[in-house]
């Protein structure tokens, strides 16, 4: 077997090549393709004593600040280990499949702020030594109740009172305290305020001083949360200064509100689930989709003021899907209005006051057309009965 210093050099070369390979093939399965390429070449890494050493995989919610900071917490802890982890940004609209992961090279897998679709955890847990779930979405809680996370090698922390980032922060800080790693502990303590601001925005609490300004300033930085495409992601997040971000956000808040006002003026009514879930206001937001949370909550307020459900539907296309016929519908609600029941009907999920799902343009047009039909019926003067409801004209 090689001496330790030779082995470290080999791993360093491998990691350098992995960075180039994944930037060339920026897909969730780039690491799997990389291992296959090395295996074909019968390189040093395929020899006994090298590939037998497995790595930790971190799948995190993308593109989402809460998911990115959850991954940062994992990074701080795992950077103290002997082997670097594999980070996989995981989107809700196109979630990673187990077959896309290099499962033969993975010992344990963390699922941060997003557990994947039904069946994913069960399938993954049969391929790796351990699966650890750190999440806070109502959808994850429902899957837990349905038995999706059963298995002796599945650990889960699901807490709807914290965000994914702070759940990960608390989890990994406790682990690094057990290691008595002073450098790692110091990193956790230095960035604690950042995690608090991320949670305050993600849970829509806005309790911290200048929280909305921080959220606005953080968006203005336009950080790429894909750790494969942006290898310096975690260094960027660790270098953030709360006061500087707030100052930057102060100047952009009014400008963003002007954009939101313009879109709100173009809102229209839709029949959620073709009317079975009531009516609310919606907006087309392709140009301002990054403002969907603030836009959606203001839209929900406007919807309630129009005597509709206190839900706002922010509708936009996702360029990464390369399909103009697919729309993402981000629902935001106020007070006790629960959006998850609607989102789950269409394969989506999230929180009570914030969830999303995908819908075809044709399906969404039906939600709009139904309102036009109802309006036409109300305008008809010659209903068969003076006491008849226009809705009674629909076939049962």
Compute the average pLDDT of residues 347-371. 91
Q: Are 214 and 207 in contact (CB under 8 A)?
A: no
pLDDT of residue 8: 39
Q: What is the mean pLDDT of the chain?
A: 85
189: which residues sit within 8 A by CB, 6+ positions away? none
Q: Are 163 and 199 in contact (CB under 8 A)?
A: yes
Element (H, E) at 121: helix 120-125
Q: What does the DSSP 8-state code read for residue 1?
A: -
Tell whether the model's pLDDT for residue 154 goes beyond 80.
Answer: yes
pLDDT of residue 197: 99
Compute the average pLDDT of residues 359-376. 80
Longest dimension (CA), the chain: 93
Against a cut of 0.85, is the pTM above it? no
Contacts of the segment 254-263: beta carbons below 8 A, 24+ positions apart: 256/216, 256/291, 256/294, 259/288, 259/291, 260/288, 260/291, 260/294, 260/295, 260/298, 263/288, 263/295
pLDDT of residue 52: 56
Q: What percent of the chain has pLDDT over 70?
A: 80
78: which residues sit within 8 A by CB, 6+ positions away? 56, 58, 84, 85
CATH topology of domain 54-249: inorganic pyrophosphatase (n-terminal core) (3.90.1640)
| Residues linked to residue 283 through DSSP beta bridges, in sequence order | 314
Q: Are 329 and 359 in contact (CB under 8 A)?
A: yes
For residue 43, give the nearest of 61, 81, 17 by alpha carbon: 17
Tell whether the model's pLDDT for residue 223 goes beyond 50.
Answer: yes
pLDDT in tens, 50-107: 445 789 999 999 999 999 999 999 999 999 876 679 999 999 989 999 999 999 999 9
pLDDT of residue 381: 53
Compute the average pLDDT of residues 143-167. 93
In the structure, what pLDDT confidence band is assigned to residue 145 with cuts at 50, 70 and 90? confident
**Every domain of the chain and the residues it spans:** 54-249, 266-379
Please state, in angstroms and rounded to a whole number, the distance separating the CA atoms of residues 224 and 170: 24
Count Cβ atoms within 10 A of the Cβ of residue 42 and give its class: 0-12 exposed, 13-18 middle, 19 or more buried. Answer: exposed
Could you name the CATH architecture of 266-379? Roll (3.10)
Contacts of the segment 255-258: beta carbons below 8 A, 24+ positions apart: 256/216, 256/291, 256/294
Sheet of 311-316: strands edge to edge?
A: 268-271, 279-284, 311-316, 326-333, 354-360, 349-350
Q: Are 282 and 312 in contact (CB under 8 A)?
A: yes
144: which residues sit within 8 A by CB, 6+ positions away? 156, 158
């Amino acid at each position: 077997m090689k001496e330790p210093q030779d082995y470290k050099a080999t791993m360093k070369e491998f990691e350098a090549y992995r960075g180039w390979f994944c930037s060339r093939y920026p897909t969730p399965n780039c690491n799997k393709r990389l291992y296959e390429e090395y295996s074909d070449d019968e390189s040093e890494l395929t020899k006994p004593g090298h590939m037998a050493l497995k790595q930790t995989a971190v799948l995190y919610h993308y593109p989402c600040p809460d998911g990115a900071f959850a991954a940062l917490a994992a990074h701080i802890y795992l950077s103290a280990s002997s082997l670097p982890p594999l980070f996989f940004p995981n989107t809700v609209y196109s979630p990673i499949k187990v077959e896309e992961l290099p499962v033969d090279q993975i010992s344990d897998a963390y699922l941060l702020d997003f557990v994947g679709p039904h069946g994913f955890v069960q399938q993954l847990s049969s391929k790796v030594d351990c699966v650890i779930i750190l999440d806070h979405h109502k959808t994850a809680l429902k899957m837990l109740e349905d038995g999706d996370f059963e298995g002796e090698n599945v650990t889960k922390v699901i807490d709807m009172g914290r965000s994914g980032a702070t759940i990960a922060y608390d989890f990994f800080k406790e682990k690094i305290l057990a290691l008595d790693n002073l450098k790692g502990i110091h990193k956790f303590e230095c960035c604690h305020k950042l995690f608090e601001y991320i949670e305050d925005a993600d849970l829509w609490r806005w309790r911290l001083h200048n929280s909305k300004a921080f959220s606005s300033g953080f968006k203005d930085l336009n950080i790429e949360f894909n750790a494969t495409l942006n290898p310096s992601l975690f260094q960027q997040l660790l270098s953030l200064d709360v006061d500087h971000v707030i100052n930057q956000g102060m100047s952009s808040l009014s400008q963003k509100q002007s954009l939101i006002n313009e879109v709100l003026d173009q809102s229209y009514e839709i029949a959620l689930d073709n009317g079975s879930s009531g009516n609310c206001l919606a907006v087309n937001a392709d140009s301002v989709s990054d403002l969907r949370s603030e836009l959606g909550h203001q839209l929900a307020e406007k919807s309630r003021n129009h005597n509709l459900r206190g839900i706002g539907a922010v509708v936009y296309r996702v360029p990464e899907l390369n399909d103009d016929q697919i729309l993402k519908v981000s629902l935001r609600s106020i007070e006790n209005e629960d959006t998850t029941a609607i989102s789950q009907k269409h394969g989506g999920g999230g929180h009570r006051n914030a969830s999303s799902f995908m819908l075809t343009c044709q399906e969404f047009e039906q939600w709009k057309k139904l309102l036009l039909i109802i309006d036409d019926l109300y305008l008809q003067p010659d209903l068969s009965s003076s006491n008849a409801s226009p809705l009674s004209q629909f076939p049962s």
